[in-house]
Structure 1
Amino acid sequence: MPSELSTRVARFYDVSDADRDAAAEAAATNLAVQGFCVLDCGFKDKKKDVLEKAKADAAALDEAEAFYRPEELVFTGLFGDEGSARIAPLNLREEPERQGLKSIDAEMTELAQVTAPFISFKMGLEIVSRARAVLHETGPLEGVIQKLTPSEASMWLSDFRFGRVLCVVCIGPGYGEMELKPYAEEEAKPLKVTAVPGTVLMIRSDKLRVRHLCRTRTLLLSCNLQASGGTNARLAPNPCAAKLQVWLDERLHNLKQAETEDRRAELPRHLRLAMNRQCFKGQYMAVRGLASRVAPCWGPETFWCGGLKTPPG
């Protein structure tokens, strides 16, 4: 990976529209060439107060027991066992009091909107939406792992399968490193990027395995930028999505086999439909039909006159 690209920082605040477009193009170029880019959104100096508010919001979420320790199938698709020791998926639209986290979340949305046209031009990735924000707390592995449910697995599968670019904001207070390693090159030496409070990164999450390493507890906010259906049909998802799909398929199969007439599996409607379509129990049959709609008539001449000026032949 070229060192001159890995150290270049795209500046995204206090600039004109032309400079902002230039920074967006530089960010997309870095993503295309090396799989990640480092951005300056002003959190290290003029927006320090936003990070302090975000830390206070995280403390309130901790008191509300919003954090939990995820299973391996989840944290391997995020920042690893230490980088995502505890996580809190957020729906910030329904939490008006989280002003610090909402400001950072809005910044990630704006970055997605500004860079999307250049990402499409440079890499052929049509970014059309973004996933929910996830708050990460790095640190030692403590606490009990929350058991993965089919409903939660379905939500993470959507994040991992359709997510192509991961946007990360380092809130702090700890100073750490982002370890990036290509999925396709197991023997490759990982590249480490300094992640101090206020650092913003965009990473090709479908190409690079991401781990966050920090000796002290720190906070990160992330979201996946999701590609269009055509892009996702053309490109393979990251390996974490494939493993999560296998787990979900096996779980739905086991739930279907355990069902009885008096006891049905408790699942959301979309998962119940998926289970009934792909899992079978006992005897089953295929029902096929064919229908057509034609003009009523008594003879071939009348039939052809209904759609053609003259009979064929």
Structure 2
Amino acid sequence: MPTIAEEMERRSLLYSLLMPVMSQFVPGLEKGKGMYFLFIKSESKTPGGLPARPVLTSYYKSSHFKNRPFDPYTNYTSPNETILCPDSYQSMYSQLLCGLCQRTQVLRVGAVFASGFIRAIRFLEKHWQLLCRDIRSGTLDPTVITDPAVREAVLTKVLHRPDPELADFVESECRKDSWQGIITRLWPNTKYVDVIVTGTMSQYIPTLDFYSNGLPLVCTMYASSECYFGVNLNPLCKPSEVAYTLIPTMAYFEFLPVHRNNNNGEKERQELVDLADVKLGHEYELVVTTYAGN
């Protein structure tokens, strides 16, 4: 759907609110790094020549993300080049390698969706031997990582020298029969897992609990392809209790009152109301009009 350049400012504003909220519940996050598995997707062009791509791909490719000033709260283990690599295998491999090399600095881990984070752990289960080999040698296998930008970023910013001690440790943990608690075993200072686990993602909660030894599962924000909506002001709540506070400048929000018919459970809809007219204890469906007019 169409979007406009100013939308990136609003998204960046919402992102800037997440860590100030989180730091009220988990102090000291500025002293370490976040290991987040972030990826871009393929894009195409419309008949009119405009780029068509997922909303997060637009954000990661924007100057707001690539040229962001240093902020201890958004200090990631993954160099930008590994995130912006179009090859998903090379991107995942290099991001995991960087996360392992900086394992003692990692204070939080995550991805956008729970499914994406579990995919990263499953990737580690399958490829830990290759990762250990590169850590032990202090090099990148040229048959695995061929992207020159990724190679340069990893070798100059993260993988500075051979580290056989780290390779032996990772190998000993990954060789164990059970992978229960693998997150806290490999990244022992992790405070929480930052992923979306509401809605259809709730099916992954047991798996995340298994891999993380029951670390808090944090849902920090709510967003969609249309626009970003709001933030979770109680991020350490249970996944079943997650609620989001709307940021009213993200879009024009209207509310459709819903009254349930006691006889058959059907919903009876009425006229739209503005945010100021919403009543406590009533049920509404959210109606969104974006700044682009969608």
TM-score norm. by structure 1 comes to 0.24
Higher relative contact order (CA 8 A, sep 6+): 1
Question: Over alpha carbons, which structure has the higher Rg?
Answer: 1
